[in-house]
Amino acid sequence: MRDTVTDMRFPPPIALLVGLLLALPDPAAGDAETGPSPPSNLTVGEAQRGFATHAFSVTALERHHEERIRALDWHSAALHSVLELNPDAPGIARRLDADRAAHGPLFGIPILLKDNIDTAGALHTTAGSLALMDSAPAQDAFIVRRLRAAGAVILGKTNLSEWANYRSKHASSGWSGRGGQTRNPYALDRNPCGSSSGSGAAIAADLALVAVGTETDGSIVCPASVNGLVGLKPTLGLVSRSGIIPIAASQDTAGPMTRTVADAAALLNVLAGYDPDDPATLPLKDNPPQDFRLALRSDALKGVRVGVMREFAGFQDDVDRHFEQALNTLRSLGAVIVDPVSIPTKGKFDTDEQTVLQYEFKDGINRYLAARRGAGPKDLAALIAFNETHRAQEMSWFGQDILLDAQRAGPLSDSAYIDAHERAKRLAGPEGIDAALSANHLDVLVAPTLGPAWLTDLIDGDHVVGGDITSPPAVAGYPHITVPMEPVHGLPIGLSFVGTAWSDAALLGYAYAFEQATHFRRPPRFLPHLSE
């Protein structure tokens, strides 16, 4: 396991780049044991065609990404996006190579998991906190079991904003006590956003083919946007929450973080499904989700009525200019643009959302911690006490004010919680997104996801520009996908598509049509061997 990062000094850019170049293996070189090396920035489809034609092996692909992690992510403390590698991954890859008949939909695909998704066995699950290093979940999360059954190679766990960014209002996204500060691979002094920071940075830097992130409000789409990725926050209940360290049961979900829309659809096909232990997935019991790849058509926007949410733009001139360009692309693809439209309840459920999160976090984290095996805190009060005792490691940059507020919350039977929960869901969903869609006979809403990545500031915390679009679909439990727009001065930005509940397939189709018409995604230019 990799050592915890404690030294947060940024090395000079030239010295860092030289170190990276010296550490990175030659991508053209093969290996007598694994065979030819695979190319960089593969898609899921390209990797599986490579396996089928014996252009490279699963073992070679696993080793390729493990070597990239050691060279680009760990050497000179460059990205801090991957916390640890799975020591079982090479053996899993060899077994898959030996049994090519045992194909699954993600056969041989190296995948990284955010470190709040339970993995039993060799890999830790800590939410980035040193408090959970000596305890473990009893079993894999439901979605991890599905990934293993689908033939995926679990490569390792990614860094995150500690406790999925639910610890302090003054936190720096991407920092955890266990992993240090994750950096944005497009500019190392800029932030990767959170809380799925490591998942975003790692996939942008081609440290695996795909990753799974989680979102309560913005934690998939924000890091996807600023790292030049496709990120999908699914409808609540499409993907099981069992075995995911909770913030809020009414908003939490896992989702894909990938370099292409097609990869997001392929990953979602495996993640989505009915879980008897998660009541939110009950609608899928008798109606399993379709193959999301069927929605991927280049003409998917033809005749689609698209509402432009100007109220979520206007925060940065370059972003506005590229947003106008994106709207022109949508028109050229046959979309009917309705401009402007608004969510009538914008800003009216923010306070209720915070109330709901406090109550649900305390309830959920107490139950989760009590079920873990081994040492470590067994409830929120003990977690708070651990942080105080280990203040030098855990609270050198910011405190735990959010945890303290949550500890003061009462049980879920409190009328304050019940009223806030009902009001927030109604205002964000039926009276918010649904009202905006129905008033204008719309199929989907669009807006810029947020501005470019900001400079990381461990002292004063995040300086996010824009990003308000994340809250309505997060609180409503509705789907939200971001896809790359044209970068701003080399820094990625995203275009958001937001729809009503269970419109995930349609959103994937719209994002795919836009992606195929633009191809704005570019790998980080200064990292060696990442050029296309």
The DSSP 8-state label assigned to residue 445 in this structure reads: E
Residue with tokens 């499904």: 273
Residue type, 166: Y
Q: Quick one: CA torsion of 108, 25, 2, 144, rounded to 10 degrees?
A: -10
Catalytic residue among 81, 173, 176, 195: 195
276 CB-contact burial (10 Å; exposed 0-12 / middle 13-18 / buried 19+): exposed
Q: What is the spatial distance between Cα 309 and Cα 176, in angstroms, rounded to a whole number?
A: 34
Q: Is 169 a known active-site residue? A: no
Q: How far apart are the first and last CA of the chain?
A: 32
CA torsion angle 379 383 389 392 (round to 10) = 170
Strands 230-233 and 253-258: antiparallel
Enter the tokens of residue 124. 């830790």
The length of the chain, given as a count of residues: 532
Answer yes or no: 285 catalytic: no
Catalytic residue among 219, 242, 250, 342: 219
Hey, what's the torsion of the CAs at 117, 215, 158, 135, to 10 degrees?
A: -30
Three-state secondary structure call for residue 303: coil
How far, in Å, CA of 522 to CA of 444, rounded? Answer: 26
Taking the C-alpha atoms of residue 137 and residue 370, their distance in angstroms, rounded to an integer, is: 10
Concatenated DSSP letters for 33-101? Answer: TTBSPPPSS--HHHHHHHHHTTSS-HHHHHHHHHHHIIIIIIGGG----EEEE-TTHHHHHHHHHH-TT
Sheet containing 305-308: which strands, arranged edge to edge?
Answer: 82-85, 153-158, 110-114, 210-215, 253-258, 230-233, 480-484, 494-498, 444-448, 305-308, 336-338
H/E element, 212: strand 210-215
**What is the DSSP annotation of 315-355?**
S-HHHHHHHHHHHHHHHHTT-EEE-----TTTTSSHHHHHH
Spot the catalytic one: 57, 81, 114, 129. Answer: 114
Tell me which H or E stretch contains 142: helix 142-149
Give the helix, strand, coil percentages of the chain, each rounded to 5: 40, 15, 45
> Is-catalytic flag, 114?
yes
Joined together, the tokens standing for residue 527 give 């990292």
DSSP 243-278: TB--S-TTT-EEEEEESSHHHHHHHHHHHB---TT-
Closest of 169, 177, 226, 232 to residue 197, by C-alpha: 226
Helices (H) and strands (E) in the chain, counts: 18, 15
- The token duo for 153 is 């190679």
Catalytic residues: 114, 195, 219
